[in-house]
Protein backbone atom coordinates (compact mmCIF):
# COMPACT_ATOMS: atom_id res chain seq x y z
CA UNK A 1 0.00 0.00 0.00
CA UNK A 2 1.03 3.59 -0.47
CA UNK A 3 3.03 5.14 2.35
CA UNK A 4 3.75 8.78 2.99
CA UNK A 5 6.68 9.73 5.17
CA UNK A 6 7.07 13.07 6.84
CA UNK A 7 9.63 13.85 9.47
CA UNK A 8 7.92 13.12 12.76
CA UNK A 9 10.43 15.20 14.67
CA UNK A 10 9.59 18.83 15.17
CA UNK A 11 11.51 21.33 13.10
CA UNK A 12 12.77 24.41 14.93
CA UNK A 13 13.80 27.37 12.79
CA UNK A 14 15.02 30.86 13.60
CA UNK A 15 12.70 33.63 12.43
CA UNK A 16 13.66 34.97 9.02
CA UNK A 17 15.27 31.75 7.84
CA UNK A 18 13.82 29.39 5.25
CA UNK A 19 12.01 26.36 6.62
CA UNK A 20 12.11 23.23 4.47
CA UNK A 21 9.82 20.28 5.09
CA UNK A 22 10.08 16.93 3.34
CA UNK A 23 7.46 14.50 2.11
CA UNK A 24 8.49 11.13 0.70
CA UNK A 25 6.19 8.51 -0.74
CA UNK A 26 6.50 4.92 -1.86
CA UNK A 27 5.17 3.10 -4.89
CA UNK A 28 3.70 5.00 -7.81
CA UNK A 29 3.51 8.76 -8.15
CA UNK A 30 0.26 10.56 -7.42
CA UNK A 31 -1.59 12.72 -9.91
CA UNK A 32 -1.07 15.59 -7.53
CA UNK A 33 0.31 16.37 -4.16
CA UNK A 34 -1.04 18.87 -1.68
CA UNK A 35 0.23 20.63 1.41
CA UNK A 36 -2.01 21.61 4.31
CA UNK A 37 -1.45 23.55 7.49
CA UNK A 38 -3.03 22.43 10.76
CA UNK A 39 -3.11 24.48 13.93
CA UNK A 40 -3.86 22.86 17.30
CA UNK A 41 -7.55 22.14 17.76
CA UNK A 42 -8.41 23.04 14.17
CA UNK A 43 -8.99 21.26 10.90
CA UNK A 44 -6.33 21.31 8.17
CA UNK A 45 -6.23 24.29 5.82
CA UNK A 46 -5.27 23.85 2.18
CA UNK A 47 -2.10 25.69 1.11
CA UNK A 48 -0.78 24.50 -2.25
CA UNK A 49 -1.29 21.79 -4.84
CA UNK A 50 1.30 20.60 -7.34
CA UNK A 51 0.66 18.22 -10.24
CA UNK A 52 2.95 15.37 -11.23
CA UNK A 53 3.97 17.20 -14.41
CA UNK A 54 4.95 20.34 -12.47
CA UNK A 55 8.38 20.75 -10.93
CA UNK A 56 7.71 23.76 -8.76
CA UNK A 57 4.90 25.95 -7.57
CA UNK A 58 4.95 29.19 -5.59
CA UNK A 59 2.45 31.17 -3.59
CA UNK A 60 3.71 34.24 -1.75
CA UNK A 61 6.37 32.98 0.70
CA UNK A 62 5.57 29.33 0.00
CA UNK A 63 7.26 27.10 -2.54
CA UNK A 64 6.60 23.45 -3.29
CA UNK A 65 8.71 21.15 -5.45
CA UNK A 66 7.78 17.73 -6.75
CA UNK A 67 10.38 15.20 -7.89
CA UNK A 68 8.76 12.03 -9.21
CA UNK A 69 12.16 10.39 -9.67
CA UNK A 70 13.05 10.81 -6.01
CA UNK A 71 9.38 10.34 -5.01
CA UNK A 72 9.68 13.43 -2.92
CA UNK A 73 8.12 16.82 -2.39
CA UNK A 74 9.78 19.70 -0.56
CA UNK A 75 7.80 22.50 1.05
CA UNK A 76 9.63 25.77 1.70
CA UNK A 77 8.60 28.78 3.73
CA UNK A 78 10.90 31.73 3.11
CA UNK A 79 11.36 34.60 5.56
CA UNK A 80 9.70 32.47 8.21
CA UNK A 81 7.68 34.10 10.97
CA UNK A 82 6.50 32.86 14.39
CA UNK A 83 2.96 32.86 12.92
CA UNK A 84 4.08 30.11 10.55
CA UNK A 85 4.41 27.74 13.51
CA UNK A 86 1.99 24.85 12.92
CA UNK A 87 1.86 21.26 11.74
CA UNK A 88 2.20 20.84 7.99
CA UNK A 89 0.60 17.87 6.28
CA UNK A 90 1.48 16.38 2.93
CA UNK A 91 -1.32 14.63 1.02
CA UNK A 92 -1.46 12.60 -2.18
CA UNK A 93 -4.27 12.13 -4.70
CA UNK A 94 -4.13 9.64 -7.54
CA UNK A 95 -6.97 10.97 -9.67
CA UNK A 96 -9.54 13.71 -9.52
CA UNK A 97 -12.13 11.28 -8.18
CA UNK A 98 -9.96 9.39 -5.72
CA UNK A 99 -9.49 9.90 -2.04
CA UNK A 100 -6.70 11.96 -0.51
CA UNK A 101 -4.08 10.14 1.55
CA UNK A 102 -2.49 12.22 4.30
CA UNK A 103 0.92 12.02 5.88
CA UNK A 104 1.22 12.33 9.65
CA UNK A 105 2.62 15.85 9.41
CA UNK A 106 5.68 17.72 10.62
CA UNK A 107 5.44 20.23 13.42
CA UNK A 108 7.24 23.46 12.61
CA UNK A 109 8.23 25.95 15.27
CA UNK A 110 9.62 29.37 14.36
CA UNK A 111 11.41 31.07 17.23
CA UNK A 112 11.73 34.86 17.37
Partner 1 sequence: SAVISQKPSRDICQRGTSLTIQCQVDSQVTMMFWYRQQPGQSLTLIATANQGSEATYESGFVIDKFPISRPNLTFSTLTVSNMSPEDSSIYLCSVGLLEHAEETQYFGPGTRLLVL
Binding site for partner 1 (CB under 8 A): 4, 32, 34, 41-46, 49, 89, 93, 96, 99-105
- Continuous segment of H or E residues that includes residue 79: none
Q: Which of 46, 91, 102, 95 is nearest to 66 (CA)?
A: 91
* Nearest to partner 1 of 14, 26 (CB atom): 26
The dihedral sign for the CA sequence 62, 32, 20, 11: positive
Q: Measured from the CB of residue 37, what is the shortest distance to partner 1 in angstroms?
A: 11
* Nearest to partner 1 of 18, 104 (CB atom): 104
* Nearest to partner 1 of 77, 89 (CB atom): 89
Amino acid sequence: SQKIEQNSEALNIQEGKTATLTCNYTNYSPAYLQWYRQDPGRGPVFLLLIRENEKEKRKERLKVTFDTTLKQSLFHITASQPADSATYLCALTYSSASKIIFGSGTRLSIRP
